[in-house]
Amino acid sequence: MVLSSIVFIFFGSKAKFEEDLMKLLPDSDKSETGLVFGNLKIKDKLFIQLTGAEPEVLVGYVDELMDSILTDEEGIANTLYRLEPEMALGALDYAMSHVPSFVDTSIYARFDTAIAHADEVMSNNYDLIMNDETGEVTEMVTTDPLNLRECLMPDLSSGMGFTLIDGHLFCPDSTVALIYISPAFQSFDSKESTKLIKHINHCADELQKKHPEVEVLMHGNVVRADGNASTMKRDIYLTTGISLLIVLIVLCLSFKTFHLAWQNILPVAYGAFFSLACMYWIQGGMSLMAMGIAMMVLGVALSYCLHILIHQRFVGDVEKMLADEAKPVCLGCITTIGAFLGLLFTQSDLLKDFGLFSTFALVGNTFFALVFLPHFLKDQKTQQNETMFKWIDKINNYPYDRNWVVIIALCAIIVVGFVFSGKVKFDNDLDNIGYLSEALQKSEKLYSDKNDHGARQQYYAVIAPTLDEALDANKALSEKLDSLRRAGDVIAYMPTASILFQSEGEQQRRIEAWKRYWTPEKVNQAMAAVRAAAVKNELSPDIFVPFQAMLEAEYEPGNLYASGVIPEGLLCNFIEESDGKYLIFNTTLQEREKMTANSDLVAAMPHALVVDPLYYTGNMITMIRKDFNTTLLISSLFVLFVLLLSFKDIVIALIAFLPMFLSWYVVQGWMAILGWPFNLINIVVSTFIFGIGVDYSIFVMQGLIANQRQEGSRLLEYHKVAVFFSAFVLIVVMFSMLFAQHPTINSIGQSTVIGMLSTILITYTLQPLLFRWAMKIPFMQRRIQKLP
């Protein structure tokens, strides 16, 4: 025992936990193209917003905050919060050396218009030159006096993008300074994300202490994951910890011994470490959320220990206790495991983790309880708190099955459950499963209001094995998105990527088009227009030599992606290399209602994909539900089969099966009536209700059969006491979950409390009633005596 415990603790503690809601979905992180969404940096970006002061003051605060954050660069891949002056100059130089590459062949007609309107442009040029403080504007005007750059980027005024104040990024109305941080890890790496978030929060707190007027807000997948993980951990510790403490105190006081506490905890802890070690050996770790849900299973495990320990208290004989309990405990364990193993047939990693962990935990716990624990027990009955047991006896021995008011009320509850079970709602939105703090919600809303006009941002991308292929494919996607924008199906579309990046072939085509357009005659015509307009607007006609040089120069295709001109923090918004493939991103703003239709159009294009795993798995959520119904059916048949094998009688097996079967409909119906929706997490809890429902009915059935045979009339009483304590334990644990902050834990509490209460009521009322009715049949009376 000691040796195996050391081995399991050693390997169990090496198991790694990860926090990724996407793991709920089957193959959720892979698109049809084979892209692993989990590896994309763009989705893990951290958004930090500073507000509450004048823009020029915020600029200083942004620098101060970033100086502080970057004192520890661990976990940070790159940042984007200001564009260095050198970067702008470098970009200008690159642009001037590769002008034709940025000119789409479709926009030469606009050049003609620009030449024709040289006068109007030159008037503006005069103001620009006279107010130029750095010389850069004059340089720009002398190189592009016709404002041809405006023709290249006509759609950038779509409302998307940044405002630059002293090189710092601001939202379009300049009230919020923006900082983007790309982590050097993935969002579900809870250990790294917690470390980074803690560091940033500390820096933000320091800044806010120093400058109370400034407000620092932060959001992003990493912040969500961290909030989820920390809230879930806190909820688990608080709800299960406190409820376990209450339960153990009640148990110890009931039996007037504190040995009961460690005798209960030891098998459960052994089972948990055994399971963790198995998870480590099989797959290196598990989902933290699966672990959180599985904490309830430890409640089931505790229930087996209780049956053994309470029975021992009554019989005071370890061998007799084992003889009485081995079969029902093993049977209960097998049927519960059967219910959990059903989850392995689903395609969701998280559900598989939960099923596997629970199975191993129950195996380890039951093994310890039946093999190791008896060595610690003494052959003597223990004292018990008589007052408390009087109450328990009153509750347990009350003839619920003979009270027609109770029976009719229960039947009414079941019938109502049946009727309404089809109306239970299923919450498909994964956002509602994760925990969102108020600060996080505020940050997301502020960002959306200021930058996305309250619409929903949706990334589309093209993916290809080479950059050139990706760039060619992006041209088609860009045209499609632009047509959607013009049709009003997309609120805004930022074509930055398609303007900045072109394949070599496309650049070559554009250079040819440039040469065809800028014939010597056309150059002369443009220069004449520029000179005339300059004279008219009191500017020297000789300053536009750079413009003429630009028109007459020879050009070669360039590689902006590899040029180093655009900093990594900005570049990753447009192009990312992932899993040996190149992705080019396009950002759109859309109304939520139109997103699916637009995404369908994009997803149908070659090389194009919707950068949202939920898009590809949207139907899979429905599939999981169907999947889950199949799983429940398989589990039910498995449980019925085991009951049939065990009791060797179809009537007895069906009566034992009844609480589990009926409670599922009661849960569905009453959740529908109370307006509590099912989600992908709490639906899993139904397996737990299945398992525990079967356990109780097995123990009660064993007692009923024993009573009927008159071979130990107190067995039913003992089992009912154990069922009472087990139910007490679980109801306290589940009830405590109702106070959890995390919506997942909370929703589990809701469905489980209903399930537990209905299971116990059915087990205490309908099961004995039906058994009694069955025993009125002479055939059944004879048969029950012959059962093994």
Which residues are at the interface with another protein (CB under 8 A)? Answer: 54, 56-57, 59-60, 63, 82, 84-86, 89, 126, 129-136, 138-139, 141-142, 165-167, 538-540, 543, 546
Q: Minimum distance between the CB of residue 359 and another protein, rounded to whole angstroms?
A: 57
Shortest Å, Cβ 118 to another protein: 16
477 in Cβ contact with 439 (< 8 Å): no
The CA angle 772-773-774, to the nearest 5 degrees, is: 90
Rounded Cα–Cα distance for residues 64 and 203 (Å)? 9
As measured in angstroms, the least distance from the Cβ of 62 to another protein is: 10
For CA atoms 446, 450, 451, 452, give the dihedral sign. Answer: positive
| Cβ proximity to another protein, 167 vs 465, nearer residue | 167
Whose Cβ is closer to another protein: residue 99's or residue 278's?
A: 99
Residue 129 vs 738, nearer CB to another protein: 129
Min separation Cβ 510 and another protein, Å: 24
Nearer Cβ to another protein (142/365): 142
CB burial of 58-67 (b: ≥16 within 10 Å; e: otherwise) equals: bbebbebbbe
Work out whether the CA dihedral 530, 531, 532, 534 comes out positive or negative.
Answer: positive
Contacts of 513 (CB under 8 A, 6+ apart): 100, 103, 105, 108
CA torsion 51-57-58-61 (nearest 10°) is -120
Sort 347 into a burial class: Cβ within 10 Å, 0-12 / 13-18 / 19+.
Answer: middle
Nearer to another protein by Cβ, of 33 and 174: the residue is: 174
CB of 548 to another protein, least distance (A): 15
Which residue's CB is nearer to another protein, number 162 or number 735? 162
Pull the structure tokens for residue 248: 């153990």
User: Please, which residue, 441 or 540, has the CB nearer to another protein?
Assistant: 540
DSSP symbols for 728-765:
HHHHHHHHHHTT-SSHHHHHHHHHHHHHHHHHHHHHHT
- The β-bridge partners of 219 are 47
Nearer to another protein, 165 or 780 (CB): 165
Task: Specify the residue for token string 């996607």.
Answer: 477
Q: Are residues 741 and 230 in contact, defined by beta-carbon separation less than 8 angstroms?
A: no
CA dihedral 449→452→453→456, nearest 10 degrees, is -100
In contact, 684 and 343? CB cutoff 8 Å: yes
State the nearest-atom distance from the C-beta of 545 to another protein, in Å. 11
CB of 206 to another protein, least distance (A): 18
Give the nearer residue to another protein in terms of CB position, either 126 or 739: 126
Residue 87 corresponds to which amino acid? M
CB atoms within 10 A of CB 71: 9
Nearer to another protein, 85 or 454 (CB): 85
CB of 217 to another protein, least distance (A): 21
Which has the closest alpha carbon to 224: 36, 46, 448, 42? 46
Shortest Cβ distance from residue 175 to another protein (Å)? 15
Q: Residue 460's beta-bridge partner residues? A: 586, 610
The smaller minimum CB distance to another protein, of residues 85 and 154, is found at 85
Tokens of 232: 């879930």
Nearest approach, Cβ of 170 to another protein (angstroms)? 13
Which one, 139 or 482, has the nearer CB to another protein?
Answer: 139
Task: Return the number of the residue (82 or 581) whose C-beta is nearest another protein.
Answer: 82
Q: How far is the CB of 138 from another protein (least distance, A)?
A: 5
For residues 379 and 313, the answer to whether their CB atoms sit within 8 Å is no
What is the closest distance, in whole angstroms, from the C-beta atom of residue 202 to another protein in the complex? 22
Query: One-letter amino acid identity for 589?
Result: L
**In this structure, how many other beta carbons lie within 10 angstroms of the beta carbon of residue 428?**
15
Cβ of residue 78: shortest distance to another protein, in angstroms?
17
Least distance to another protein, CB of residue 87, Å: 10
When the beta carbons of 135 and 520 are compared against another protein, the nearer one is 135
CA distance 229 to 223: 10
Burial of 184 (0-12, 13-18, 19+ CB in 10 A): middle
Q: How far is the CB of 86 from another protein (least distance, A)?
A: 6
Instruction: Give dist(CA 298, CA 364) in Å, integer.
Output: 11
What residues form DSSP beta bridges with 217?
Answer: 49
State the virtual CA torsion across 77, 79, 83, 89 in degrees, nearest 10: 0
- Looking at the Cβ atoms of 81 and 368, the one nearer to another protein is 81
Using a 10 angstrom Cβ sphere, with 0-12 exposed, 13-18 middle and 19 or more buried, the burial of residue 270 is: buried
Q: Are 757 and 659 in contact (CB under 8 A)?
A: no
CA 423 distance to own-chain centroid: 26
The minimum distance between CB 65 and another protein, in angstroms, equals: 12
Q: How many alpha carbons lie under 13 Å from residue 722 in its C-beta half-sphere?
A: 36
Kindly tell me which of 86 and 554 has the beta carbon lying closer to another protein. Answer: 86
